[in-house]
Amino acid sequence: MNSHKTISFIGAGNVATHLAKAMYEAGFNIEQIFSKDINNALVLADEVDAIAVDNIRNINATADIYILAVKDDAVEDILRHIQKKDIFIVHTSGAIGIDVFEKTGFSKYGIFYPLQTFTKNVHVNFLEIPICIESNYEENWLIDIANELSNAVYLIDSEQRKKLHVAAVFACNFSNYMYHIAEDICHENNINFNILKPLIKQTAQKIILNHPKDVQTGPAARNDDKTIENHINQLEQHPTYQELYKLITENLKKLNE
């Protein structure tokens, strides 16, 4: 079906870059790439054989589907500036409800949310990325497109998706910040952060086949109060890290009561 669908992207950031490339590689025709920064639009357009535009008024109305992939705070503003309201348009946000389209005058719309952390130059395997779909129009189109890219396609409504996005922030963004803290502590003490990477890998692998609660380890899980006190003292020079340590430890202890 991909040879019969043309797609234009509004946005040329991390999500748009990975999604446009994946669709192009799957055989879809990418028509236009819009970005306020023409250089970003040109770079991505060159990679997917599309036309770059930097004026939202120059987005044509000939594509079958328009994918809005921009930061959450810009979604509603951009939708209000799109003059052609009869196009079929979807956004890729995990946090914004489907009602944003009706509020901004569109009649055919949906959600195409790939749940993954994206960085432009870091490869991802799209076949493994869950894609969450919601739509008031031609839902099967979106499902078919998603199935061309991924082996994990889900119909999820806006309220579920908002909760999923919160869960994803804990699982990904907050976890990554913990890695940052660990790297900071290592760096300050002239320790190679690579020493921790096998531990990080094993921790992630364990929850693939187990519930996180069932494989929780560490001093809080053991009620090892002397070690906990020692760790808190070790973090004297970092009050923020110290408070985080205390808060998480308290919650982990409650988990194991």
Looking at the fold, whether 115 and 222 belong to one and the same domain comes out as: no
pTM of the model: 0.87
Looking at the fold, whether 173 and 117 belong to one and the same domain comes out as: no
Question: Which residue, of 156, 172, 195, is where some domain finishes?
Answer: 156
The predicted-structure confidence for 46-59, as pLDDT tens digits, reads as follows: 999 999 999 999 99
pLDDT band at 238 (very low <50, low <70, confident <90, very high): very high
Number of domains the chain is built from: 2
The predicted-structure confidence for 70-93, as pLDDT tens digits, reads as follows: 999 999 999 999 999 999 999 999
Looking at the fold, whether 134 and 175 belong to one and the same domain comes out as: no
Instruction: Give the pLDDT score at 5.
Output: 84
Range of the structural domain that residue 227 is part of: 161-255
CA atoms of 126 and 197, how far apart (whole Å) = 24
Tokens of 9: 């992207």
The amino acid at residue 50 is: A
The predicted-structure confidence for 95-126, as pLDDT tens digits, reads as follows: 999 999 999 999 999 999 999 999 988 899 99
Q: How far is CA 40 from CA 113, 114, 149, in A?
A: 22, 21, 24
Looking at the fold, whether 99 and 184 belong to one and the same domain comes out as: no
